[in-house]
C-alpha cells in the first residue's frame, strides 16, 4: 500500500510489558538508504502522542474487550539495522480497521483511525498490543495493520503492514509488491484460548547520514 493511503491513530489502555519472545535476532544490514524513507504523507502524526514520551507503555490495548471482532494479540521486537540487537526507546504506532472494515470514528478534525495506539520499547526492544483482528479494507487486498516507527531524534517512517499468511489475499502477487520495509510484515497467527496470537519483529531502516 502506498504512503498516501495511510491513516494514523492514538491511545489505548496500558497493560503489562511483554517479555520472553522466542527466537534469536540475526544481524541484518540494509544495503542502502531508501530514497523514499520519509515519504509517508501522514507519518508525522506518529509523533502526536499526549504526555511524555517516557510514559508511553510497551504493551497497550487498542480495541476494547467489548469491541466486535475476533481478539488478537501481536508482539514483536524492534531490532537494529546494523547488529540485529534490540533497540530501546522506539515508538511504534499501529492502527487498523474495525470489524466492518472501517477506519472511521477517530478524533474529530483529524485523519486518525479509531483503532490506533502507540507503544515505546524498553531495554528488551519489545512492543505489544491487544486488539481485534482487522477485516478487509474497502479498497481490497489483505486485511492489515498499519505501522509507523519513530526513533529518538529521527523523522518517523512507515514500514510494511502486518498481513496474515492465512488470508487468501496475501498471495504471491501481493508478496511480490512488498519491499520489506522494516523487515517482513507477513506473519502467521495461531489461535490460542480464543485469541489470534502472532509476532512481527521490526528491523529498523538505515537513515541518511
Backbone dihedral angles phi then psi of residue 45, each to the nearest 5 degrees: -65, -20
The reply to whether 124 falls in a domain is yes
Number of structural domains found in the chain: 1
- Range scoring the smallest mean pLDDT among 17-26, 87-96, 107-116: 17-26
The reply to whether 154 falls in a domain is yes
**Once rounded to an integer, what is the mean pLDDT over residues 105-120?**
91
Contacts of residue 96, defined as CB under 8 A and 6 or more positions apart, other chains included, come to: 62, 103, 113, 115, 131, 134, 143, 144, 145, 146
The reply to whether 47 falls in a domain is yes
pLDDT at 34 over 90: yes
| pLDDT bracket for residue 52 (50, 70, 90) | very high
Task: Provide the domain limits for residue 64.
Answer: 3-203
pLDDT digits (tens, 9 = 90+) for 134-173: 987 667 789 999 999 999 999 999 999 999 999 999 999 9
Give the predicted TM-score (pTM) of the model: 0.85
The reply to whether 208 falls in a domain is no
Q: Report the CATH number at residue 60.
A: 2.60.130.10
Residue with cell 487498523: 96
pLDDT digits (tens, 9 = 90+) for 56-85: 999 999 999 999 999 999 999 999 999 999
Number of H-type helices and E-type strands within the chain: 1, 12
Q: Smallest Cα–Cα separation from 77: which of 179, 1, 183?
A: 183
Going along 62-155, which residue ranges are E strands?
Answer: 71-79, 91-96, 115-120, 126-132, 145-150
- C-alpha of 44 from chain center: 15
Query: Residue 118 pairs with which residues in a beta bridge?
Result: 93
- C-alpha of 192 from chain center: 21
For 1, other C-beta atoms within 10 Å of its C-beta total: 17
Amino acid at each position: 500500500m502506498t504512503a498516501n493511503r495511510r491513516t494514523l491513530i492514538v491511545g489505548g489502555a496500558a497493560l503489562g510489558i511483554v517479555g520472553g519472545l522466542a527466537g534469536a535476532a540475526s544481524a541484518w544490514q540494509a544495503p542502502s538508504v531508501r530514497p523514499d524513507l520519509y515519504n509517508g504523507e501522514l507519518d508525522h502524526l506518529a509523533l502526536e502522542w499526549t504526555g511524555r514520551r517516557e510514559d508511553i507503555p510497551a504493551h497497550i490495548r487498542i480495541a476494547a474487550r467489548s469491541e466486535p471482532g475476533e481478539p488478537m494479540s501481536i508482539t514483536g521486537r524492534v531490532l537494529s539495522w546494523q547488529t540485529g540487537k534490540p533497540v530501546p526507546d522506539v515508538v511504534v504506532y499501529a492502527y487498523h480497521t474495525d470489524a466492518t472494515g472501517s477506519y472511521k470514528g477517530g478524533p474529530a478534525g483529524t485523519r486518525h483511525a479509531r483503532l490506533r495506539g502507540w507503544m515505546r520499547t524498553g531495554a528488551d526492544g519489545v512492543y505489544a498490543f491487544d486488539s481485534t483482528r482487522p477485516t478487509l479494507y474497502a479498497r481490497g487486498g489483505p486485511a492489515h495493520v498499519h505501522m509507523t516507527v519513530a526513533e529518538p531524534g529521527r523523522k518517523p517512517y512507515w514500514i510494511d503492514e502486518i498481513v496474515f499468511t492465512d488470508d487468501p489475499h496475501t498471495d504471491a502477487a501481493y508478496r511480490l509488491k512488498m519491499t520489506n520495509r522494516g523487515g517482513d510484515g507477513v506473519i502467521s497467527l495461531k489461535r490460542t484460548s480464543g485469541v489470534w496470537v502472532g509476532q512481527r519483529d521490526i528491523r529498523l531502516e538505515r537513515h541518511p547520514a
